[in-house]
Every structure is written in structure tokens, then in C-alpha cells.
Structure 1
Amino acid sequence: MQNKNTFAFFVLLSLCFGLIIFSLFIGKYSLSASEYLSYFNALIKGDVSRHLDIHTVFFELRFPRVLACVIIGAALSISGSAYQAMFVNPLVSPSILGVLSGAGFGAALGMFFGLTPFYVGLSTFVFGVVAVCVSLGFVIVFNSGKGIILLVLGGIISSSFFTSLLSILKYAADPNDTLPNITYFLMGSLSFASAKAVFWAALPMLFGIVMLCFCFKGLNALSLGEEEAKSLGIDAMRFKIFVIILATFISALSVSMAGVIGWIGLIVPHITRFLFSSDNKIVLPFSALIGAMFLLVCDDLSRILFEYEIPIGIITSLIGIPVFVAILFRVKGGFGAN
């Protein structure tokens, strides 16, 4: 079984790498094979002065975007896997604690006041963290031995609160300039992922993804119940807070780079468990890889389906909904099954 999983992992890794290469060569700026060969030959020689347009498209536009796809898809998927394992609930996603609503409000606030892209990203991250802190505050203030219930309730309230604040900003925003920017951001788009923002956020997000992968033992123990986890020497509440901080951190950074992208954190963990295993040692890293490939495919479609680019959040929803329904049918044998 171990050899089989190792082989599957390397197959997925190879597929992901192939998809990355494919994604680098597609886009609105079409180039012939001979032009690419001429450019790479010049790149090897260290002189791309005659191919500055190709160099700009390839390394300043497409490469940061593809890298953002991989990191964001992996981050949202592994966050969803961690949340679902921690709450022992298959319908949980990174939005459960209000992080997406808070981050969306933070971005809208920065756009409303005309801040630079750096400060818009910073505001997005800060308010995503604040939204989760509000959720955690319910557990601290109203601690009654029902931590998870209060945490979910706090997430619902936090999400509703920041959604209301976001509605106020949209109502007050300039309808000819600011409002369209806010609306487009909330639909999600990799066009927001500038090279500077991607390279600034890539290492912290990779660190968070790797750390979550090493949380599999605690998450497996929690799936058996908190009492069982305690008997194995795990402080359930501290461990949950640690996982929440990691998942929130990488989810908020994802929103700061590409806006609000839904469904990935919900459906990818289901796909992984359905295809491979329910063991979090397998689910967490495999979800990261499948999530990266899923978002790459969605971004490729958003760029090539029409003459204009479709917000990627629309593509993930259009693909995610039927995939989720198909998984339900395969698992349950139909909605009418007992």
C-alpha cells in the first residue's frame, strides 16, 4: 500500500509539472514553436535583448501567474482538508471561520480608499486574520465546554458581520471606478497576482502548506474523537488553534493575491479521499497537488475560452458544483439512498 501511494504521489507530481509547462505556453499572446526555440536559445546564451517581448510575457506575466495558481490551489485545498478533518465534517471549507469574508472586506476597504496594491494586499490579509480572531473570541469569551460549536457559530457571525460591512462599502463606492474593481476582485482572478506579490507570499505559503502536512497524526487522532486524541497525548484545543492559525494564514494570503476563489477547499479533499484514502497522511499532500492542478486547469480555461478573461471564481464554481454532485452520487449511490 505504501509503495502504491508513493507511486501515485509521483504520478500526480509529474502531471502537475506537465500541466505547469503546458500553462506557460498558452495565452492570448500566441507564439510559434520557432519563436519559442529562438527565445530559449537566446536565454541559454544569456542575451534576450532581441526577444524582450517574449521574455516579458513568459517570465513577468505567465510564470508568476502559473506559480500563483499552484500555490493558491494547494493552499486552499490543504486548508479545506485540515478543516474537514479537524471538525469531522465533510461540508467544512476555508470560509467556515469567516476568513474569506474578512479578507474580501479588507481588499474592498483598500480599494475604497485608493491604496496601492501592496497595501490592498496587506489590508486583505489583516482583515482575514481579524475575522478568524473574532471567531476564536467566541470560544474564549463563552467557554462552556462546547468549543467546536462555538467556533462554528463564531465563524458564521464573523462572516455575516464582514459581509455586511462589505455591502456598505459597495453601496458607498464610486459606481464608475471603485465598485467594478471591488466586484471583479470578489469574483477571483489570477490577474491580480503580480510577480512582486507572488514571490513575496510564495515562501510563507509553502511553509504553511508543509507544516499542515506534518499535522496528519493529530488530525487522524481527532477524527476518532477528542477523548481518544487526549488519550494519545494531544491537547485537542491547542492543536486545533494551531491548525486554524496555519490554515487561516495561507488562506488569507491566497485571497490577498487572487481574490475570493471558492469551491476548491470544499471539493478537492472529497476527490482525494474518494480516489486514494481517508488517512490524512495521504489526504493532506495529495489534496495540495490535486488542488494545484485543479486551479491550473480552471485558470487555463478562464484564459482561452473567450476573447476576454473570465474571473476564475466563476470557473471554479461551474466546475466545482457538478463535480461535488457527482461525488455525492458515487458515494451514496444517489440522493435517495439510505
Structure 2
Amino acid sequence: MAVPLFKKISHFPISLEIGLIVLSPFILAGFSMFFGQYFLDPITIFKILLSPFLHTQQTWTDAQANVIFNIRIPRIIGAFLIGGGLSVAGAVYQSLFRNPMVSPDILGVSSGAGFGAAIAILCSLPVLMIEGSAFFFGLASVGFAVTLAKIYKGESILVLVLSGIIMGSLFTSLISLVKYVADPTAKLPAITYWLMGSLSAVSMSDIFLAIPFILPGVVYCMVIGWRLNAFSLGDEEAGSLGIDTTRMKYILIFISTLITAYSVSICGIIGWIGLVIPHLGRMLIGPDNARLIPASFFLGAAYLILIDNIARNATSAEIPLGILTAIVGVPFFAYIMAKRDVGWT
């Protein structure tokens, strides 16, 4: 049974479902500390985690401390922020465009970021510049799409989506061109692996940079989530409720693009999260964006933490995240399409 559109839009009820959704990423994050190619027993892990606060005799090696502080903690926090951020961006886009098939890369941000990273890798630039190039071209792709939509008059949503498809196709072609001219023994494998997505290279410096790009946008979307309910009625009806639809639309597009572009810049292209997780949230708590957007954040965080655990533990060689999210996402999305339970009636 569908949840009424504006039911309790200003409240986030405390319930077992909400509690489990909020706690799930933290529970998975705790378990993730114990899993990896390098085995550490729980007692040693707790001692290492408490060592900055309690001056106790060191009974662990520097290598063990390095695994915890420089590998597992950054990966867990990165998965939390990126999974949650991409899910929120997906939920916002789906409500904004009134289309359950929309994902965060609908305006070409992922393709643009992929091209930026590919160019930087081709030029042998350092990691920080690869991330910066990916971030810049991700934003540029969406900027070009929005500009193109303004040039061609017509139904704003349709023209914007078509402009995004154009820019996405353009940058995808440019990625293919870069791969074609890349050295097949060194640069091509690096570009290909980056495009498939991974958290293996995420560091605490990446996390500190990600927080101001992702968290403020997520919080803003949570705060104004109830206004997104009005967009499902159409721009005219939303405007009659006192919402400046044009201004709100571009603010949300900018915020969602910022979240997606930075996420892609530090971990590569990880698909399906922003498409599938909002649907899972609707199945669990209904389509009210006041609850759906926070739920999508925690569900997305839990999902990517779980996927990352599988990626680094399933085989001796780490599996790219983009492969796993597609393997899980495709059958799940096929299921909800077969059930026609996409949150729209």
C-alpha cells in the first residue's frame, strides 16, 4: 500500500524499520574491521583503535596499525560517504525528474569524470591531479548539459535529460579515444581498472576532502526533502505551493552533481547504487522524500560497505566495485520492475 504523498512530511518517525536502517551501516562498518586479506584478531584491533586515546604498552606491530588506520578505516568511511551520497543523489534525481529510471549520472557526470581521470592517467599525473581532473570534467559535463538545454527551448525536463544523454555519449566516446591511444602495457590497464571503480586507493586525505563536498549536500537534501514531494505534482502545482521550482531544481542538480562528481573522482565509476537503493527505500518506508532521502543515505552506505567487503575478500585479487554493483543491481532492478513496485503509481 502506497504511503500518502504528504503524510507526516515534517516528521521522521522512530520505528523498528527506521532504527535498523540507520544502524545497519554502523553494524557493517564494525564487522568490516575484522575482514580482509590481512587477518587481525578482535583484541588486537580494539587495542589499536584505542591506542590514540589510551597510552598502553604496544603489543601489535606497526604493519598491523597501518592496516587499520591507513587501509580499513579510510575504506569503510569512504564506502559510507560515497554509498550514501550516490543514493541520495539518485533519490533526488528520481523525484526531481519524476522518473524512477533516473540515476545520478543521467546528465553525464560519470562519463565526464571518467574522461578527466583517463586524460590525467594518460599524462602520468599524480593521484591528487587525477582526482581533480575527474572532478572538474564531471562538473563540466553537467554544466555543458544544462547550457545545451537552455539553448534549445522546449519541455525543460525532457530537453535536460536529452542534453545529458548527448554529453554522456560524447565523453564516453572521448574515453574510448583516450584508451585507443594509451600504452596497452601500462596506461590502458590503469585507465580500465580505474573506470571499473575501487576503494583500494582511498586515503584519509581523500576522506577529509570528501566530507565538505558530500555531507553538506546530503544534509541539505534531507532538510528540504519534503519539498521534493511537490515536484511529483508537476512544476505548476509545486509553484502554486510557494516553491520556486526553477531555482530549487538547479540547486538540487548542482548539489547532486557535486556529490556524484567527487564520489566518482576518488573511487571511479560505481553504477547502480543511485538507481537501485532509492527503490529499496521506497519498498521499505514509502515514497515520502522526508523519510526516503535519509533512509537512502543509510541504506546506500550499508550497501557499499557490504559490497566492498565482498570485493576485497571474495578472491585473492580484489574485484572492482562496478562489477559487483552491476551483478547485484541488475537482477534486483529486474525484480522490482517485474513487480512494478517502483514507488510511482
Separation (CA, whole Å) in 2 of partners of 1:50 and 1:230: 62
Aligned residue in 2 for 1:115: 125
Separation (CA, whole Å) in 1 of partners of 2:259 and 2:168: 18
Residues 145-170 of structure 1 deviation map (CA, whole Å, 9 limit, x = unaligned): x1111101100100011111111100
Between the aligned residues of both structures, percent identity stands at 40
Are the aligned partners of 2:89 and 2:260 in contact in 1 as well (CA < 8 Å)?
A: yes
- Structure 1 stretches of 4+ with a deviation exceeding 6 A read 1-4
Give the number of aligned pairs: 332
Separation (CA, whole Å) in 2 of partners of 1:304 and 1:249: 31
Are the aligned partners of 1:302 and 1:309 in contact in 2 as well (CA < 8 Å)?
A: yes
Aligned residue in 2 for 1:102: 112
Residues 62-118 of structure 1 deviation map (CA, whole Å, 9 limit, x = unaligned): 000100000000011000000000000000001100000000001101101111111
User: Where do 5+ consecutive residues of structure 2 fail to align?
Assistant: 1-6
Give the aligned residue type for 2:14. T
User: Where do 5+ consecutive residues of structure 1 fail to align?
Assistant: 334-338
Aligned residue in 2 for 1:258: 267
Residue 181, structure 1, aligned to residue 194, structure 2: no
Aligned residue in 2 for 1:156: 165
Are the aligned partners of 2:109 and 2:260 in contact in 1 as well (CA < 8 Å)?
A: yes
TM-score by length of 1: 0.93
**Relative contact order (alpha carbons < 8 A, sep ≥ 6): 1 or 2 greater?**
2
Separation (CA, whole Å) in 2 of partners of 1:241 and 1:37: 46
Aligned residue in 1 for 2:4: none
Separation (CA, whole Å) in 1 of partners of 2:332 and 2:202: 27
Residue 66, structure 1, aligned to residue 61, structure 2: no
Aligned residue in 1 for 2:290: 281
180-189 vs 14-23, greater mean Cα deviation: 14-23
Give 1:46 deviation, angstroms: 5.5
Give 1:324 deviation, angstroms: 1.1
1:40/1:164 Cα in 2 relative to 1: closer, same or farther (>3 Å)?
Answer: closer
Are the aligned partners of 1:272 and 1:287 in contact in 2 as well (CA < 8 Å)?
A: yes
Residues 149-200 of structure 1 deviation map (CA, whole Å, 9 limit, x = unaligned): 1101100100011111111100011111111010001100011312211221
TM-score by length of 2: 0.92
> Residues 137-152 of structure 1: matches in 2 within 5 Å?
137-144=147-154, 146-152=155-161
Higher helix fraction: Structure 1 or Structure 2?
A: 1
Are the aligned partners of 1:39 and 1:51 in contact in 2 as well (CA < 8 Å)?
A: no
Q: What is the alpha-carbon root mean square deviation over aligned residues? A: 1.9
Residues 124-151 of structure 1 deviation map (CA, whole Å, 9 limit, x = unaligned): 000000000111012221233x111110
Are the aligned partners of 1:48 and 1:55 in contact in 2 as well (CA < 8 Å)?
A: no
Aligned residue in 2 for 1:76: 86
Aligned residue in 2 for 1:92: 102
